Structure 1
């Protein structure tokens, strides 16, 4: 049994996950919580190397199943090496993406099927799931425009996908919201960052105070 609290932030490209995680972590630390932030794919050296392979814009020929398996491998190593040890120490872990990303991106948007991708990831995570997932629901138009306007943001292979792909990603996340309403909470991320932060913080504090 874990002692900490596992929280994930999900959303399409340009939804503002990184900024939100930084702000939530800062507030929780000010309130006296022990917080660790991390990301997927990545967070540790092995997973960061897998991230480089997955997101390299030159790897456009990557097969969808290969992509799904690489994400699951990265997730497994990150989980056992970084996330679980922190949870055992009573830390609040806020992770940028987790298994829901694979279900939305590879399962739905790539057409592999959510159930098939879930089976791959169930082997990797051994039933470890977040206690709370904040889904930053952003329209592809808004999300991609933010990416194009951010000069310092890396442009990865997923950013280069067609608009229809990002629409399917959003659709996949909304399907997951209906499937796991007790865990996933949707936040309208088309709004200004301050508005998104205030709502997300309220949801998070309500869950922590339980």
Structure 2
């Protein structure tokens, strides 16, 4: 796929997605990274999937409640794709066109893992959905927070407190381990896009590794844009 900052008329902007199992710390780490980037003068758009727009947020409630589960993994994938399409058009592309750094909590890799590798939706079907939904928009960087399923589920339970587990958190540990393996397989297939961070460490160490990876990739992207402008001139 084409980098979004170089497609569909975009002049600049940087798109980073964050993936990983339940309780891997994505939400916390994204918030910390956003604060750091803003301190360094970057405009930051913080968003998530499913969700990001009113329509996608409505789909989020349906998906996480489990009401769509009985419809099957393929229908779930289609619902995620519908929300993602609205999210891209309503939030992600406008932010990138403004030159912002977009930090997204989950994106298409989660569909590949949850509904594809583990859910059983055929890769060919997912490829068709992706082509129609993304239209060439792909992350400049994907940070995969890797953590053993048992540790992540324990963290998720502590975070949740007395609230009920959502559709995905409530599933068996074996499924969570399968998802962990599937994320790592994506990273192995696409090392130029993905970086794996060991999330089973203290939050400060994880934060430092994420910050280093993201800042390095943003700097590299800016250099490529400068060189491209020079070639055009």
Q: If the length of structure 1 is used for normalisation, what is the TM-score?
A: 0.95
Secondary structure of the structure 2 residue equivalent to 1:61:
helix
In the alignment, does 2:106 pair up with 1:92?
no
Alignment partner, residue 155 of structure 1: 165
Secondary structure of the structure 1 residue equivalent to 2:70:
coil
Within the candidate set 155, 167, 174, 2:177 is matched to 167
Contact 1:104 1:114 in 2 (8 A): no
Contact 1:41 1:48 in 2 (8 A): yes
1: CA distance between counterparts of 2:206 and 2:43?
23
Report the Cα offset of residue 61 of structure 1. Answer: 2.1
Alignment partner, residue 208 of structure 2: 198
2: CA distance between counterparts of 1:132 and 1:154?
32
Contact 2:49 2:104 in 1 (8 A): yes
Within the candidate set 198, 210, 217, 1:188 is matched to 198
Report the Cα offset of residue 153 of structure 1. Answer: 6.7
Contact 1:72 1:124 in 2 (8 A): yes
The one-character-per-residue Cα deviations of 1:119-166 (angstroms, maximum 9, x if unpaired) are 212211101000001000111011000011112776210011111111
Contact 1:109 1:166 in 2 (8 A): no
Q: If the length of structure 2 is used for normalisation, what is the TM-score?
A: 0.86
Report the Cα offset of residue 49 of structure 1. Answer: 0.1
Alpha-carbon RMSD across the aligned residues, in angstroms, is: 1.4
What runs of 5+ residues in structure 1 fail to find an aligned partner? Answer: none
Alignment partner, residue 150 of structure 2: 141
1: CA distance between counterparts of 2:67 and 2:74?
18
Alignment partner, residue 124 of structure 1: 133
Q: How many residues align?
A: 210
Secondary structure of the structure 2 residue equivalent to 1:66:
helix
2: CA distance between counterparts of 1:152 and 1:18?
19
Secondary structure of the structure 1 residue equivalent to 2:18:
strand
Alignment partner, residue 47 of structure 2: 38
Alignment partner, residue 113 of structure 2: 104
What runs of 5+ residues in structure 2 fail to find an aligned partner? Answer: 1-8, 221-233
Over 3 Å counting, the alpha-carbon distance change for 1:21 and 1:74 in structure 2 is: same
Within the candidate set 185, 188, 191, 1:178 is matched to 188
Q: Higher Cα Rg: structure 1 or 2?
A: 2
Report the Cα offset of residue 59 of structure 1. Answer: 4.9
**Structure 1 segments (4+ residues) deviating >6 Å:** none
Alignment partner, residue 15 of structure 1: 24
